[in-house]
Amino acid sequence: MIATLLFTLFIAAMAAGVPIAAAIGLAGMAAIALANADAQWLGLMAVPQNFYAGLGKYPLLAIPMFVLVGSIFDRSGVASRLVNLAVAVVGRGPGMLPLVAISVAMFLGGISGSGPATAAAVGAVMIAAMTRAGYPRAYSASVVGAAAATDILIPPSVAFIVYSVLVPGASVPALFAAGMVPGILVGLALIVPAVWLARRHRMGQAESTLPRPPLWASLRESVWGLAAPVLILGGMRLGWFTPTEAAVVAVFYGLFIGMVVHRTIRVRDLYVILREAGETSAVILLVVALAGIFAYSLSTLGVIDPLTRAIVHSGLGEGGVMALIVLLLIVAGMFLDGISIFLIFVPLLLPIVQHFQWDVVWFGVILTLMVALGQFTPPLAVNLMVSCRIANVPIEHTVRWVGWLLVAVLFVTLLVVLMPQLALWLPAYLGY
């Protein structure tokens, strides 16, 4: 009865427009209070304890830093220089600018690990360029929003950091390595429908008439940006710093590029950058902390074990259960942000993972693929909201284009489900 009330209150609060963090926290607190009706105040002491326990984890220190990295590189001018280099390499022609947008978003994924930040950085440059070349704004926003979703798969990734905190045995380096190949596959899969749609609908006819940037000059201007993921990922691999320390290194490297090399960031801009990063980090960490209360209430009420037994003995089999999980996460991704999906569903799904003896790193990649899908699936699609705001188009205008891109990501998800080694061979090769 109390378990039913827990989920009913959570869903009702979200339907009423209550922020996700508050809905999670209120539902958890109400369930804990009802479960300890004889000694409510004693039972409610678990609320502040679990609030603190949700935040008191070392890997979470990397989240504010990687969010700050995204804000810094958004203003550093790196994205525009990478775009010029990509155009110089692939040339001009119908479908080439969408290819460039996806390629640059994938590269920036090796720096910030934040989808909305990449959507803002790439969208600010590419949407205007694609509009001048004759691409519809809704199509441009769709491509940029989908391309930015690769950033939570290609390391570093905030989503993988949160997952590592929730799941014993899933280390951050192993998750980062596991996300590399699926992230690249998602980017390549997105290129196929993006270019095909552009050529089928005869978009970008004016693109061939635009000048092609000189290759060597573009390479020279973008070399500092190209070195960023080498420094971040290479430093972690060589053992120079941990993922948390890598985030701090990335912050100072980004500030050096923006303030010294490109001089696109001034001292007075730092307040705005720090404020934006602080607000975003506060929202993420507040959800993490309040989700700890929700998870505690689930375990206290004994919801997880009966639910696990019901799913395991449903007769669906291992493949059927995985298909059900993927379908559930697709629906959840349409309404919840990625961090909330991890915090709500991982405690529920982890016993199922343990029952079928699935690799927790591989399962983390599957969950992150679903979160990436949700980042550009209407109605709640954070990347798409950012790119649509830049393109100045309603999000509903992107539906006809987004559907094809969603199919591409689902195809990669199916490949990773059927062939786990796509995610696991690199961590094994690197010894994680």
Lowest mean pLDDT among 11-20, 136-145, 304-313, 352-361: 304-313
Residue 117 pLDDT exceeds 80: no
Please check whether residue 162 lies inside any domain of the structure. Answer: yes
Instruction: Kindly state the average pLDDT of the residues 41-63.
Output: 70
pLDDT of residue 361: 94
Closest of 64, 69, 75, 68 to residue 269, by C-alpha: 75
Cα–Cα distance, 179 to 171 (Å, whole number): 12
Closest of 374, 287, 362 to residue 327, by C-alpha: 374
Q: How confident is the model at residue 111 (pLDDT cuts 50, 70, 90)?
A: confident
Closest of 70, 6, 2 to residue 36, by C-alpha: 2
Segments forming the whole domain that contains residue 369: 59-430
Q: How confident is the model at residue 2 (pLDDT cuts 50, 70, 90)?
A: low
Please check whether residue 104 lies inside any domain of the structure. Answer: yes
Q: How confident is the model at residue 420 (pLDDT cuts 50, 70, 90)?
A: very high
H helix runs in 201-242, sequence order: 215-237
Please check whether residue 304 lies inside any domain of the structure. Answer: yes
Cα–Cα distance, 61 to 244 (Å, whole number): 6
Q: How confident is the model at residue 159 (pLDDT cuts 50, 70, 90)?
A: confident
Instruction: Please check whether residue 200 is in contact with residue 267, taking contact to mean a CB–CB distance below 8 angstroms.
Output: no
pLDDT of residue 412: 94
Considering 78-82, 107-111, 338-342, 409-413, the range whose residues carry the highest mean pLDDT is 409-413
Please check whether residue 42 lies inside any domain of the structure. Answer: no
Residue 43 pLDDT exceeds 80: no
Q: Which residue has the tokens 């284009």?
A: 401
Cα–Cα distance, 364 to 366 (Å, whole number): 5
Instruction: Kindly state the average pLDDT of the residues 242-260.
Output: 85
pLDDT averaged over the chain? 81
Output the pTM of the full model. 0.81
Please check whether residue 39 lies inside any domain of the structure. Answer: no
pLDDT tens for 306-321 read: 767 777 777 778 888 8
What phi and psi, each to the nearest 5 degrees, are found at residue 112?
Answer: -100, -40
Count: domains in the chain: 1
Per the structure block, which two tokens stand in for 333? Answer: 């991704």
Q: How confident is the model at residue 10 (pLDDT cuts 50, 70, 90)?
A: confident
Cα–Cα distance, 333 to 115 (Å, whole number): 14
Closest of 95, 241, 189, 212 to residue 408, by C-alpha: 189
pLDDT of residue 424: 93
pLDDT of residue 38: 54
Q: How confident is the model at residue 302 (pLDDT cuts 50, 70, 90)?
A: low
Q: Exposed/middle/buried for 270, CB within 10 Å: 0-12, 13-18, 19+?
A: middle
Please check whether residue 49 lies inside any domain of the structure. Answer: no
| Torsion angle in degrees (nearest 10) through CA of 400, 102, 373, 322 | 120
Q: How confident is the model at residue 299 (pLDDT cuts 50, 70, 90)?
A: low
Residue 4 pLDDT exceeds 80: no
The whole-angstrom distance between residue 127's C-alpha and the CA centroid of its chain comes to 21
Instruction: Please report the DSSP string for 130-144 in residue order.
Output: HHHTT--HHHHHHHH
Terminal-to-terminal C-alpha distance of the chain: 43
Closest of 96, 68, 116 to residue 390, by C-alpha: 116
Closest of 224, 202, 241 to residue 85, by C-alpha: 224
Please check whether residue 101 lies inside any domain of the structure. Answer: yes
pLDDT of residue 307: 67
pLDDT of residue 3: 61
pLDDT tens for 344-390 read: 788 888 888 888 899 999 999 999 998 888 888 877 677 888 888 88
Closest of 41, 30, 23, 36 to residue 4, by C-alpha: 30
Q: How confident is the model at residue 194 (pLDDT cuts 50, 70, 90)?
A: very high
Cα–Cα distance, 133 to 100 (Å, whole number): 13
Residue 429 pLDDT exceeds 70: yes
Q: Exposed/middle/buried for 420, CB within 10 Å: 0-12, 13-18, 19+?
A: middle
- For CA atoms 264, 386, 18, 37, the dihedral sign is negative
Q: How confident is the model at residue 292 (pLDDT cuts 50, 70, 90)?
A: confident
Please check whether residue 43 lies inside any domain of the structure. Answer: no
Q: Roughly what angle, to the nearest 10 degrees, separates helices 360-374 and 421-430?
A: 120
pLDDT of residue 408: 94
